[in-house]
Amino acid sequence: MSNDMEDACLCKASLQPTGILSLASSGLSPVRLEVPLTREQRVSPGADRPGGGTSHPSVSSQGCHHPSPEQAAFGIWNRQLSGGSSSRRVLDTSSSTTSHRSSSARTVLVRVWVSPVHPARQGTGHSPGGSAGDPYQSAIEALGNYPQKKFYNVSKLGGAKYDTLPYSIRVLFESSVRNCDGFLVKETDAMNILDWKTKQNNVEVPFCPARVVLQDFTGIPAMVDFAAMREAVRNAGGDPVKVNPACPTDLTVDHSLQIDFSKCAIQNAPNPGGGDSQKALAKLSPLRAQPRKLPCRGQTGCKGPCDSSRGPAQPAAQIENTPLLCPFHLRPVPEPETVLKNQEMEFGRNRERLQFFKWSSKVFRNISIIPPETGMAHQVNLEYLSRVVFEVKDFLYPDSLVGTDSHTTMVNGLGILGWGVGGIEAEAVMLGMPLSLPLPEVVGCELTGTASPLATSIDIVLSITKHLRQADVAGKFVEFFGSGVAQLSVADRTTIANMCPEYGAVLSFFPVDNVTLKHLRHAGFDKAKLEVMEAYLKAVKLFRNGESSSREPEYSQVVQISLSSIIPYVSGPKRSQDRVAVTNMKSDFQACLNEKSGVKGFQIAAEKQNDTVPVQYEGNEYKLSHGCIVIAAVISCTNNCNPSVMLAAGLLAKKAVEAGLVVKPYIRTSLSPGSGMVTHYLSSSGVLPYLSKLGFEVVGYGCSTCVGNTAPLPEAVRNAIKQGDIVACGVLSGTKNFEGRLCDCVRANYLASPPLVVAYAIAGTVRIDFETEPLGTGFNGKSIYLRDIWPTRRELHTVEEECVISSMFKELKEKMEKGNKRWNLLEAPESTLFPWDLKSTYIRCPSFFDKLAKEPVSPQPIENAHVLLYLGDGVTTDHISPAGSIARSSAAAKYLTNKGLTPREFNSYGARRGNDAVMTRGTFANIKLLNKFIGKPAPKTIHFPSGQTLDVFEAAELYQKEGIPVIILAGKKYGLGSSRDWAAKGPFLLGVKAVLAESYEKVHKSQLIGIGIAPLQFLPGENPSTLGLTGREQFSILFPPELSPGMTLDVKTSTGKGFSVIALFDNDLEITLYRYGGSLNFVARRFL
């Protein structure tokens, strides 16, 4: 594009009042522009994608609005930029119109990368940073051989103290310096971080992440809240157009996939629309699966599913972003029917949700929606969104983020500081509030030695998980160093970093080093950008060079792990922290059968432990016994980002098929890759057909089995399991294996590496000793052992070099830029306010803003509250928050039935997170919830005024009708796990006013405050038992007019007993949020 044309485009862009950039259709190519966004001394994403190219000149903005001290103190103010702020648009390059144009001319949407600029620095012509009011202006320097590049040289600013800081703390320090304005971030905050050695765990510090990443399970309630906030602001007399995300946000629609079809066969597929299922399926999408009947005819030995007779004028249907090749001819082949059919079902079943997302992409500024079938949020973040170093208007600073996906921490494997937060916190950050956190302890994890050839990255992950859990790293940062780190690829590092929520750490950080740069080169980063990146990271001492490092950082404590000691493990049968050496699997499962029911035991009588139950399936008889495998899933949430473990599974499958081994047909097998890139290297390496031969056929792209979206087991198998009270097993390569999560009749669930998932599927049971017992019988009756088909490290390395090449990353990025055909053709409303459909069972305006007021009220006392639930230790957010399929007997099912839906139309809780009525009814609906009032696992409680045993929702509903507040009693570690936003929102809508627990998972505690529930903690050494409480009493809690962090409150019971609890408010901000009824109401009132 010529300079004149660029100037014309920039001029036109500057006249767009909403920040939406459009070009009249005239043959022009789309361009990327940087647009300033008013925001308080915060520099956020605005650079081009890491693949290369140059930024266009920035467009200056007008009409800056300076915040008042009160507004700035909490990071929210009304932004005025020509009637609104700039935006990043959806990944949609289709021709369309928007609500901001009156013209009907055909236009092309242009992706915008926002360059937020502080009002005081606006219009100076300088790079971000360096205004007269900047206390750290003197620290801004030019970057060595790149004098046009500027940055804060925090290494000189911090001096000797900076050199001893852990790398992750250096990132926090840089952020505090760059964002220091005396309001949101003060000089004292920066100095506290610099004095980390003495201030850790003693002070709260603000953190301004560069961006936010959402996945759709948590993204849809966030966007529904934004839509509801617009409604509430309008009703209160404010301007709803002002309600927009302030922090750049990417939302990936990746959690709606369910496995309705597998092995190219219909598995009792639900009919989302009613009527004739085939006709309904035909209407769901303009793309249809092409029949795949003919074998490859170009070579007699070809086992691949290609049709060489297809001419160039008859292209095969291809799934978006998934370039499948025949491994024998390297020619495009038709997509597996299962993928296309599952995609059809996904778009049909979730049409309302997807239309809502499409509406959000049109009306909300500063948000990008990444359509379905592109990949998972964390995978897209790794492969496409991550920058490592931002460059905005020639100003450099580190990449950082927070995300609502529990796998957000994977980016720390790239040297990007990021961690998972709940939906409520993410929404606050999206609206401009800094994230407040205690200055964390940092545990140094020193890796030494070399791992066994049989040990995969999953084995390393589980070993590190065990060591760090024992080291008590909850609420701390973990940072890796030592000679062993250089032996780990970026894929290994991201896999290790991914598991940190399971051992309680906030994040696990791998500083950028030469291994990282090598990976980025293969991933398609521009060479010039990599050179600038390396120079910048070395200038601010964020680059680790193990060979010449003069001084290691000082850590709060050091945990040493020898990779040489790591052997293959699996994890289960009920908890991810219960590791079992593969060599001990058979004996350990036997012990589980003998143990009493609990965290590991199943309490099966000795005389029944060898029982078998016959089952007829597809004309053959099989026998099920304790330990039999019925679900085997290589799923998307942890290891599909790692070529070594995925290729190991594929190579093992190849050797198994060649040896004549098979998987029993009743076992529900599936392969859900993290992105099309994963399928690409599996296909290109020639292993995908072999996985498919064993039943591990690609079913789609997104979270499925791990979040409870597995296809139903065959009815005959379910009946046989129940008839014989069989302890059936699931084996999956994920991170979550809580009991009952995969299927209510699968009691034992093991986490394993992908090759072991395939191996156990072939064996058909976990009661096998791989060293002495064969997996099965191959050709000519020969016994085949695991050692016969296990791929060596040399084999894996060779295949990686040949298959995982930079062109694959480049192709993936190009396809992501083009978007998704189904998404581009999807119609959605364009009004400023969302047109709520009262009949909708997916999208519903929530009641969080019913009491929106301009001024806060003093905390009200909780008087004569009943206990809704009396819970024990280790209650996870999986127990609290709705997840998985909707049980037919649940309160949510009754609600949907009353709305006219049939059970096959229920969909999952995750898909209905935009409907607070469904989610509230699904709160505490987990079948494994152990309420001490009931005495056995069940989602039930007692309504004490009537004495009835009811569903939790029904009891809470009665209490609310009677005007009786409720509280929850709990033990230690209340709120472990993910899915945190509805673990707070759900209890709030049930009428819960406070939780009294012995201890909390910190993020969940913050979520409770963020929604308006008081987190109260028993005094040390006290709990309901020591206090003589039965939970049947009524409780009164008096809140003083002025709360202070950590103050003690008095509790009185209806029996005359009294005791004290600690109000777990860590700082004045949390108290302020509680006074306003939570962060959502606090933020909303800023727009009035």
**How much is the average pLDDT of 338-348?**
62
Rounded to 10 degrees, the C-alpha dihedral 270/273/279/283 comes to -110
Please, what sign has the CA dihedral across residues 16, 20, 24, 28? positive
pLDDT attached to residue 673: 72
The mean of the pLDDT values for the chain is 76
Confidence of residue 705 (pLDDT cuts 50, 70, 90): very low
As a whole number of Å, the CA-based R_g of the chain is 28
Measured CA to CA, the distance from residue 804 to residue 685 in angstroms comes to 9
β-sheet bridge partners, residue 370: 252
pLDDT attached to residue 944: 96
Are 512 and 544 in contact, with CB atoms under 8 Å apart?
yes
pLDDT attached to residue 344: 65
For 505-556, the pLDDT digits (tens) are 899 999 999 989 988 887 778 899 999 999 999 999 999 986 545 578 999 9
For 52-76, the pLDDT digits (tens) are 333 322 222 333 333 333 333 333 3
pLDDT attached to residue 735: 64
Lowest-confidence pick of 805-819, 909-923, 1013-1027:
805-819
- Give the count of beta carbons closer than 10 Å to the beta carbon of residue 159: 9
Nearest residue to 876 (alpha-carbon basis) of 496, 528, 430, 406: 406
Answer yes or no: is pLDDT of 1077 > 70. Answer: yes
Lowest-confidence pick of 601-605, 706-710, 808-812:
706-710
| Token representation of residue 134 | 């900047």
**How much is the average pLDDT of 783-793?**
91
Answer yes or no: is pLDDT of 265 > 50. Answer: no
- Give the count of beta carbons closer than 10 Å to the beta carbon of residue 59: 20
| Token representation of residue 360 | 């959000």
Answer yes or no: is pLDDT of 24 > 70. Answer: no
Measured CA to CA, the distance from residue 1036 to residue 994 in angstroms comes to 11
326 or 734: which leads in pLDDT: 734
Nearest residue to 567 (alpha-carbon basis) of 676, 489, 488, 451: 451
pLDDT attached to residue 432: 79
Nearest residue to 802 (alpha-carbon basis) of 653, 645, 686: 686
**How much is the average pLDDT of 232-261?**
79
Answer yes or no: is pLDDT of 105 > 80. Answer: no
Are 69 and 4 in contact, with CB atoms under 8 Å apart?
no
Measured CA to CA, the distance from residue 786 to residue 809 in angstroms comes to 33
Lowest-confidence pick of 101-115, 229-243, 711-725:
101-115
Helix, strand, coil percentages (3-state) for the chain, rounded to 5, are 35, 20, 50
Map tokens 């647009």 to a residue: 35
Are 671 and 312 in contact, with CB atoms under 8 Å apart?
no
The DSSP secondary-structure symbol of 965 reads -
For residues 994-1028, one letter each, b for 16 or more C-beta atoms within 10 angstroms of the residue's C-beta and e for the rest, the string is bbbbbbbbbbbbbbbbbbbbbbbbbeeeebbeeee
How open is the CA angle 593-595-599, to the nearest 5 degrees? 100
Distances in Å between the alpha carbon of 256 and those of 260, 345, 371, 630? Answer: 12, 10, 11, 23
pLDDT attached to residue 110: 28
Lowest-confidence pick of 312-316, 468-472, 759-763:
312-316
Are 220 and 840 in contact, with CB atoms under 8 Å apart?
no
pLDDT attached to residue 63: 32
For 102-155, where are the E strands, in sequence order?
107-109, 112-117, 140-143, 146-152
Q: Check whether the bond before 573 is cis (ω within 30° of 0).
A: yes
- Give the count of beta carbons closer than 10 Å to the beta carbon of residue 53: 11
Rounded to 10 degrees, the C-alpha dihedral 111/117/119/121 comes to -140
If 0-12 CB within 10 Å is exposed, 13-18 middle and 19+ buried, where does residue 824 land? middle
Distances in Å between the alpha carbon of 503 and those of 213, 407, 565? Answer: 22, 13, 20
Map tokens 């990007």 to a residue: 416
For 65-105, where are the E strands, in sequence order?
95-96
Are 999 and 973 in contact, with CB atoms under 8 Å apart?
yes
| Token representation of residue 450 | 């070399």
Distances in Å between the alpha carbon of 990 and those of 847, 930, 960, 995, 1013? Answer: 12, 18, 8, 13, 11
pLDDT attached to residue 162: 96
With pLDDT > 70 as the criterion, what percentage of the chain qualifies?
Answer: 72
Confidence of residue 348 (pLDDT cuts 50, 70, 90): low
For 137-161, the pLDDT digits (tens) are 999 999 999 999 999 999 999 889 9
At residue 698, the 3 state secondary structure works out as strand
692 or 637: which leads in pLDDT: 692
pLDDT attached to residue 338: 55
| Token representation of residue 696 | 């591990």
β-sheet bridge partners, residue 677: none
Confidence of residue 98 (pLDDT cuts 50, 70, 90): very low
Measured CA to CA, the distance from residue 532 to residue 815 in angstroms comes to 27
Are 304 and 356 in contact, with CB atoms under 8 Å apart?
no
Nearest residue to 883 (alpha-carbon basis) of 926, 941, 937: 926
377 or 5: which leads in pLDDT: 377
Are 212 and 402 in contact, with CB atoms under 8 Å apart?
yes
How open is the CA angle 44-50-53, to the nearest 5 degrees? 105
Answer yes or no: is pLDDT of 261 > 90. Answer: no
Distances in Å between the alpha carbon of 888 and those of 595, 891, 1036? Answer: 31, 9, 37
pLDDT attached to residue 979: 57
At residue 865, the 3 state secondary structure works out as strand
CA 971 to chain centre: 27
Lowest-confidence pick of 281-290, 636-645, 967-976:
281-290
β-sheet bridge partners, residue 601: none
**How much is the average pLDDT of 757-778?**
95
pLDDT attached to residue 811: 62
Helix residue ranges, H only, 676-805: 676-684, 688-693, 715-723, 754-763, 786-789, 793-803
pLDDT attached to residue 38: 32
With pLDDT > 90 as the criterion, what percentage of the chain qualifies?
Answer: 43
At residue 354, the 3 state secondary structure works out as helix
Phi, psi torsion values for 877, nearest 5 degrees: -70, -15
How open is the CA angle 743-747-750, to the nearest 5 degrees? 90
Measured CA to CA, the distance from residue 773 to residue 765 in angstroms comes to 12
At residue 269, the 3 state secondary structure works out as coil
β-sheet bridge partners, residue 777: 783
pLDDT attached to residue 701: 58
For 983-1031, the pLDDT digits (tens) are 999 999 999 999 999 999 887 898 899 899 999 999 999 999 999 999 9
Lowest-confidence pick of 32-46, 778-792, 903-917, 1070-1084:
32-46
Answer yes or no: is pLDDT of 114 > 50. Answer: no
| Token representation of residue 222 | 């966030």
Confidence of residue 286 (pLDDT cuts 50, 70, 90): very low
β-sheet bridge partners, residue 435: 207
Are 639 and 758 in contact, with CB atoms under 8 Å apart?
no
Please, what sign has the CA dihedral across residues 1006, 1012, 1013, 1016? positive
245 or 272: which leads in pLDDT: 245
Map tokens 């928050």 to a residue: 881
Are 500 and 506 in contact, with CB atoms under 8 Å apart?
yes
Lowest-confidence pick of 180-194, 819-833, 890-904:
819-833
Residues in the chain: 1088
**Helices first, then strands: H and E counts in the chain:** 34, 41
pTM comes to 0.64
Are 679 and 803 in contact, with CB atoms under 8 Å apart?
no
Please, what sign has the CA dihedral across residues 197, 198, 200, 203? negative
Answer yes or no: is pLDDT of 862 > 90. Answer: yes
555 or 641: which leads in pLDDT: 555
pLDDT attached to residue 480: 96
